[in-house]
Amino acid sequence: MEEMKMNVRPTGNRGTWSKKAPAVAELGKKPPQALDLEEAVLGALMLEKDALTTVIDILRPNSFYKEAHQRIFKAILALFDKSEPIDILTVTHELRENGELELAGGAYYVTQLTTRVNSAANIEYHARIITENSIKRDLISISSEVLSSAFEDTTDVFELLDRTEAKLYEVSESNIRKNFDDMRSLMHAAIKELEEKRKQTDGLTGVPSGMTALDRVTSGWQKSDLIILAARPAMGKTAFVLSCLRNAAVDFKKGVAIFSLEMSSLQLVNRLISSEAELDSEKIKKGSLEDYEWAQLNHKIAKLTEAPIFIDDTPGLSIRELRTKCRRLKAQYDIQMVIIDYLQLMSGNADGKGGGNREQEIASISRAMKMLAKELNVPVIALSQLSRAVETRGGDKRPQLSDLRESGSIEQDADMVLFLYRPEYYGITEDEMGNPTAGVGEVIIAKHRNGSLENVQLKFIGKYTKFTNLDSDFGGDGGFNALPNSSFDTETPGAIRLGSRMNDGGKGGGGFPASGFDDEPPF
């Protein structure tokens, strides 16, 4: 009881007392550790030259409990990085050069480690036990900090919750690594996926955009793809992704999360209401609706109300927060697509530390988004701004890949790069074929890692802030039209073929047969 009294302290100004929980919880207990296994692993690493390759993706210096062992393991890693042999003499020499030999226990202690084990036969099993103990220590440390902060009256509970989630995720990411897959298991997974695709007689294998001509090229937004949608301001980027979001969630019942860093949640919902009810967005904004328009609104938004759409309008969202929120949404609601509006408004580092310029920060954000798409196995659509070079260029001012703003790594990380272009914005009333451009929006597929490059024409309805199919995109049965071989599809003006870097084996865009969609799926 005397020791218990030593570990209490006043909190706040109310004169109340609370126990300093971490100290009490750990009273008389040692942190999880396995010093004998640590010695055995280090000894094995200095006995057999190939032992390190077995455990290098399992162990980190901080995995070791004893500080001397951490220093010895760092010396071993340094030798490995320099492609030098690893044995008692080289490790001792490396420690001596770094001035850490005495801190690591001295030359005699390093030599004694090799007597703890005869071979590296069980080194992987021993390494995993060491890692498990390390994870336990990390969890104890996080729990102690949470417990201590939770007792403080001045603690912001939501900030504490966010910080705790971030630290738990960090522990998980740094310790749990995906291993390689053998060809047998991969082939089995590939055949299973093909069988699932075979059932999709409409040719859609990803999340549909609802735009017929665009889905013909992409087969829907594909899992684990990072899609960059870029355009100059006022081209309708948000209107386009909201149309895609609405089609996926309402018509196809796919869960979609949108992170809006520019507009508030209510502004986005008002846009969705205007698009769904086909009411002028200005009237929605002012609330000046007639009685019949109110009836029309209430009737049309019923499906929208029940749609699996999740909106987050946190300003200045960091990539760490994005990953945490997306993982939570995936676990709780099985979201099938993520939309970010827009990339340049994100911050790369949650704690505000770290050097580097804005271009490097955008590069780290785009890489993290690609990793997020792969981790959750969902398409991630990120909106991006284009540079002013588009405005200064002559001609029709069509955007190109070099116009991507602030970082060339966006182009590198993306699986697809789409540009949104409306000729009428620049006062161009007719296209090169003499067709009127009023109300026409063009999606330029400038990069398509797994398909063809095409220009897809859509109908833009400004007063409803929505994109939809051109009337000519629909066949008599409301389905897809056939895909011809010609470079310009006269039957389907919505798609202009530019050619593909990937599919040159007599196939059309998106890997479908040149003859179009038959009863037999193209697999």
CA angle 30, 36, 39 (to 5 degrees): 120
Cα(51)–Cα(72) distance, integer angstroms: 15
Coil, helix or strand at residue 76: helix
Residue 154 identity: T
Cα(458)–Cα(132) distance, integer angstroms: 55
The interaxial angle of helices 67-81 and 106-113, nearest 10 deg, is: 80
Cα(175)–Cα(226) distance, integer angstroms: 26
> Which DSSP letter does residue 30 get?
P
- CA distance readout (Å), 253 to 206, 249, 256, 384, 431: 13, 5, 9, 27, 37
Cα(501)–Cα(290) distance, integer angstroms: 53
Neighbour tally for 279: CB within 10 Å: 20
CA angle 26, 27, 28 (to 5 degrees): 110
Neighbour tally for 226: CB within 10 Å: 24
- CA distance readout (Å), 410 to 214, 316, 337, 407, 474: 22, 19, 19, 6, 34
Q: Which two tokens stand for residue 296?
A: 């029309």
The candidate with the shortest Cα–Cα distance to 112, out of 86, 92, 84, 134, is 92
Please identify which of the residues 132, 145, 165, 262 carries the catalytic annotation.
262
DSSP character string of 404-462: BSS-THHHHH-SEEEEEE-GGGGT--B-TTS-B-TTEEEEEEEEETTSEEEEEEEEEEG
Coil, helix or strand at residue 10: strand
- CA distance readout (Å), 299 to 236, 252, 390: 26, 20, 42
DSSP character string of 96-110: HHTT-TTTTTHHHHH
Cα(243)–Cα(217) distance, integer angstroms: 18
Cβ-based burial of 365 (10 A; exposed 0-12, middle 13-18, buried ≥19) = buried
Cα(424)–Cα(156) distance, integer angstroms: 51
Q: Is the dihedral of CA 502, 505, 509, 511 positive or negative?
A: negative
DSSP character string of 197-256: HHT-TTS--SB--S-HHHHHHHSSBPTT-EEEEEE-TTS-HHHHHHHHHHIIIIIS---E
Mark whether 262 is an active-site residue: yes
Active-site residue set? 262
